[in-house]
Amino acid sequence: METAWLTLGALLTIFTFSFLYKDNVLYKIAEHLVVGISAGYFVVLLIKTNLWPIMSQRLFVKGDEGWALDQWWYFIPLILGMLMWTRFSKKWSWVSRYPLAFYIGIASGLTIPLELKNRVVEQISASILKFKFDFSATGFLMVPQGAWDTFVIIGVMCCLIYFFFSKEHKGWFGGSAKIGIYTLMIAFGASFGYTVMARISLFIQRIQYLRDWITAITS
């Protein structure tokens, strides 16, 4: 059975790689299997880790005399979740807009401050407060850490100047904006390189899987 599962995984890997040649039926089979199995898995996972624990541990509590209603306010999200299923009805699909509006509103209220903190406040703090400009400590490429701190500060300021469109980019202002463009290109290149290396790592893992499969079926 272990060899059979390895063979199935190897075939699906080969089916996925076949897209490098052209879009074909084998690739679509693997794609649909991934989407379908993932959807089914997460539905079961959410039922076991969210819906059932809420109903059995918070909404209802089992005591000596049987099940008793405890935290009744959990009926509100339960009802809203059930109303989402009206989406599949042409006549009652408009009802699903209300729980969807609650969900988007709550998610926005939770996500926007978190994103502001992580992507704005933390970035500003890292660019202003966390630099020590210590030229005695050696940093990346044997360059003093203080030099890298100075480079980052200049790069950030030049990037801000580039996005300042109320003044024409001429003279020293235009030169600073050009340095900001180079800084942005370095940042985008590093981000793209990191993404490519992550994808290459996944590719190597699948090649190693195919190697283990060949070893298993030939031994």
Model confidence over 140-155: pLDDT tens digits?
A: 778 887 888 888 889 9
pTM of the entire predicted model: 0.61
Q: How far is CA 186 from the centre of its chain?
A: 23
Mean predicted lDDT score pLDDT of the chain: 88
| Confidence check: pLDDT of 113 > 90 | yes
Pair 199, 192: CB distance under 8 Å: no
Q: Is the dihedral of CA 18, 22, 24, 30 positive or negative?
A: positive
The predicted pLDDT at position 209 comes to 92
Q: What is the pLDDT of residue 206?
A: 92
**Rounded-to-integer distance, Cα 107 and Cα 164, Å:** 32
Specify the pLDDT at position 51.
83
Find the range with the poorest average confidence among 10-14, 131-135, 190-194: 131-135
- The per-residue pLDDT for range 23-78, each reduced to its tens digit, is 999 999 999 999 999 999 999 998 898 888 887 777 877 777 777 777 888 888 88
Mean pLDDT for 103-113 is: 93
